[in-house]
Amino acid sequence: MKNNCIFCAIAEGEIPSFKIYEDELVLAYLDINPFSAGHALVIPKAHSEGLLDTSDETLAAIIARVKKVAAHIKTALPCDGFNIMQNNGEAAGQTVRHVHFHIIPRMAGDPLSFENRKGDMDALKALAARLAM
């Protein structure tokens, strides 16, 4: 596996994902253990570990894609709002060492805690088809 990294393997298509958006720079797909319905991850295809070793140019390009995907999810899902989360380092809860931005859809008054819940694969597949851009 390239860089011994599961997100590189997803970017290379070696591991399947519930893809919702792709272009030359990034891939966006549903988190398999979502905090909420529609929880998506946006990753650069090129490997870097976190915010600090990713170039300013790449980060600027990624955040523009995060905005685009979040806007689509907000309309297509729909949801009332969303959180963007980006963890750096084990102490901050980063479990996959390939920089990624979480898009976490929120409903007004929801009791969401930021905890992974085991995703239902059939439901994720159907949702990815619905959210595909």
Q: Which does 33 bind (CB under 5 to 8 A by kind): Zn ion, ligand 5GP, none?
A: ligand 5GP
72 catalytic, yes or no?
no
Which listed residue (1, 51, 110, 116) binds ligand 5GP by CB under 6 A?
116
C-alpha–C-alpha distance, residues 45 and 28, integer Å: 10
Beta-carbon contacts of residue 41 (< 8 Å; ≥ 6 apart): 28, 29, 30, 31, 100, 101, 102, 103
Nearer of residues 83 and 87 to Zn ion, judged by Cβ? 87
Given 39, 47, 72, 100, the catalytic residue? 100
Q: Does 88 bind ligand 5GP (CB under 6 A)?
A: no
C-alpha–C-alpha distance, residues 63 and 75, integer Å: 18
